Amino acid sequence: MRRPFGVGALCLLVLLLSVPAFPSSDGKSMFLRILVVRNQFLAEQILQELKRGASFADLARQYSIDRTAADGGYLGNISLTRMNREFQQAAEGLEPGTYSSIFSSGFDYALLYRMPADFQEQARRLEEEGDRLRQEREWERAIETYREALESDPNLAAAFAKLGTSYAQLGKLPEARTAYFRALRLAPDSGQVHYGFGKILVSQGQLRQAEDHLRRAADLDPDLTQLAAVEISAGQVEQALKRNPRNPKLLILKSRFSFERGDLELSSAVLDKVDREKLDNELSLRLAEQLFWLARSDEALTFLDRLNLSSDQQEEAARILIRFKYNDEGERILKRLSSSSARLRLANLYQDQSRFQDAGEVLRRLTAQDPGNWEAQYYLGATLNSLDQFDQATDALLKALRLRPGQEEVFHQLGSTHSRSGKTGKALEWLDKGIELNPDSFLLHLEKGRILMKGREIGGALEHLQKALAQRPEHVETHYLLGRLHHRSKDPDTARNYFDRFDRLQKKKPKSSRKPGMRKIDPSLP
C-alpha cells in the first residue's frame, strides 16, 4: 500500500504547525518555495524547464501537488533545523534566486527555490505602484500590479485586500471575495482587512455578513469604529431605499453616507433626486447642511433664505452656518433670538473667535436674567479666566459649582484659574476635590498633570497624565505632554514613542474650535 505522505507533504505538515516560521537560533533560515510531483520523470522535465528560464512559481502552480501550489509553492521564512535531513541538504547550499536539484525521501519528488534577496523590497515597490494606480481609478492596471507584487511576495495581506477592492470596483465579486479570503487568512486580526471586506459586502447588499466583519473591524481598531458604523448604516439605508426609492430622508442620508465614504460625485447626484418642494423644515435643514458639505454653499444659502423657520429651527440654522464658517450670518440670526440656548451659542461663537469681551457681555446679561443657569455661570467664569479677571472668574465658577455640585468641568476651570493667577497650591486643592468626586475624570487628571509638570514634579505629573490617557487614549495633547515629560526624565525612546503618536494623531485630527482656558500645543520638540 502506498504511503500517504512523501517529502513535500511531510515538509508541509511541519510548516503548517509553524506558520509563520521563526528563524532558527543559529541563523539557518531562508525564504523558500517548494514544488512537489508524484514521479521523477516529471520532476526532471520541470528541472529542464527551469534551466530554460521558466518561472518556478508558475511551474509550481501548474504541476505541484503540495497545498502551497496556489501561492506558487511559497513557504515563507523557513528554519532549516526544523526540517528533515533531505530538505536541509537540498536547501543549505542555495544562493538567493536559485533552485535546488531534485530530492526525495519517499515516493514524492521535490525542488526548492530560494527567494531573491530583494524580493520583499520589490514586492512593496509594486504594491506602492498599485496604490497609485488605484487612486487614479486605473483598476485593471492596479489589479495587474498587485498580482505582480503578490507573485514576488504572497505574504502581503494588505496587497490581497487592495486587490480585492480593485476587483470589486470592476464588479468581479468572486475574485474580490477570493482575494479578501486570502487577506483574512494572512491577517485574521487586521481591522483594516475586516473593514474593507465589510465595505464590499455592504455594496453587494449582504448586510448580515458585512456587519460581522465591520463589527470585528471596530473591535480590533478603535479608529475604525465610526467608519464601520457608517458602512452598516449605509447598507441599512440602501435596503430601505429599495422599498421606498423616493423617500427624501433616506436620500439625504444616502448622500451623507456617500460623502463620508469619499464618493462626492454619488453624494451630489443623490441629493439632486430629493424633491425639495415636499420637505418639512427639519429635512430642509439637513439638506442645506449636506449642500454645505458638498461645497455647494451658494445653493445652500439661497435655500435657507427661502425657509420660514421657528425659533428653534433658526438656532439650528445658525449652528449650521457657523459650522461652515459663515459666522456673520450665524451671528445675525443668534442676535435676534432670546432663548438661553441661543445666547450661550452666541457666547461660544465669540469665545471661538477670541472675542472674550463680547462673550463676557452676553454672558453677564444672561446670568443677570437667568442666575440659576449653571452653564452660563460656568462659561462666564471661563471667559473671565481668559480675560485674566481671576477674582471675578472664581466668583462665577463658585456660583456654577453651587448650582451643579460635583461638576468636573467647573473644578477643572477653577484649577486653571488659580494656576494662571499663580496660586498653584489652591489650584491643586480644587483639582483634588474634583478628582475625589470624579476619580476617572480625564479633564481633572490632565490639568493636574499639566500643573505638576510645570512645577517639575515629574512623578506626580506622570501618574496623572497616564490616568488621563487611560480615559482618552487618542487625545493629542496628552501624548505630547507625556513625550515632554519623558524627554525631561532622560528617557528618549519612550519620549519618541509619545511624540510619534502625537504626530500621527495630529495629522488625522479634525480642526475644531478652541474653548476658553484651553492651551495651544507647541508641536516642536523640547
Q: Do residues 482 and 465 make contact, with C-beta atoms less than 8 angstroms apart?
A: yes
Quickly tell me which residue has 509550481 as its cell. 60
Q: What is the pLDDT of residue 509?
A: 57
DSSP letter string over 54-92? Answer: --HHHHHHHH--STTGGGTTEEEEEEGGGS-HHHHHHHH
Return left, alpha or beta for 422; rule: phi > 0 is left, psi -120 to 50 is alpha, else beta: left
Q: What is the pLDDT of residue 227?
A: 83
Q: What is the pLDDT of residue 173?
A: 85
| CATH 1.10.10.10 is the classification of domain 120-243 | no
Count CB neighbours of 240 within 10 A: 15
- Nearest Cα neighbor of 236 from 268, 267, 262, 214 is 214
Q: What is the pLDDT of residue 14?
A: 40
Give this prediction's pTM.
Answer: 0.61
Q: Cα–Cα distance between 228 and 192 in angstroms, integer?
A: 10
CATH (residue range 7-117): 3.10.50.40
Q: Which ranges of 370-475 does DSSP label H, i.e. alpha helix?
A: 374-386, 390-403, 408-420, 424-437, 442-454, 458-471
Cβ neighbors of 205 (< 8 A, separation 6 or more) are: 235, 238, 239
Q: What is the pLDDT of residue 162?
A: 92
Q: Cα–Cα distance between 122 and 124 in angstroms, integer?
A: 5
What's the first-to-final CA gap in the chain, in angstroms?
75
Q: What does the domain layout of the chain look like in residue ranges? A: 7-117, 120-243
- Nearest Cα neighbor of 393 from 427, 425, 369 is 427
Looking at beta carbons, which pairs linking 274-279 to residues 24 or more positions away fall under 8 Å?
274/248, 275/246, 275/248, 276/303, 278/248, 279/248
Give the pLDDT of the chain (526 residues) as one tens digit per residue. Answer: 333 334 444 444 344 333 343 333 344 788 889 999 988 899 999 999 999 888 898 898 889 998 888 888 888 888 877 778 888 888 888 888 898 888 886 778 889 999 888 888 888 899 999 999 988 889 999 999 998 898 888 888 899 999 998 998 888 888 888 899 989 988 999 999 999 999 888 877 788 888 889 989 888 888 888 888 888 888 888 888 889 999 999 999 999 888 887 889 999 999 999 999 889 999 999 999 999 999 999 999 999 999 999 999 999 999 999 999 999 999 999 999 999 999 999 999 999 999 999 999 999 999 999 999 999 999 999 999 999 999 999 999 999 999 999 899 999 999 999 999 999 999 999 999 999 999 999 999 999 999 999 888 888 999 999 999 998 888 889 999 999 988 888 888 888 888 888 888 887 654 433 333 333 333 332 2
Give the three-class secondary structure for 36: strand
Number of alpha carbons in the 13 Å side-chain half-sphere of residue 416: 28
Please give the biggest Cα pair distance in the chain: 100
Q: Cα–Cα distance between 482 and 51 in angstroms, integer?
A: 60
DSSP letter string over 90-128? Answer: HHHTPPTT-B---B-SSS-EEEEEEPPTTHHHHHHHHHH
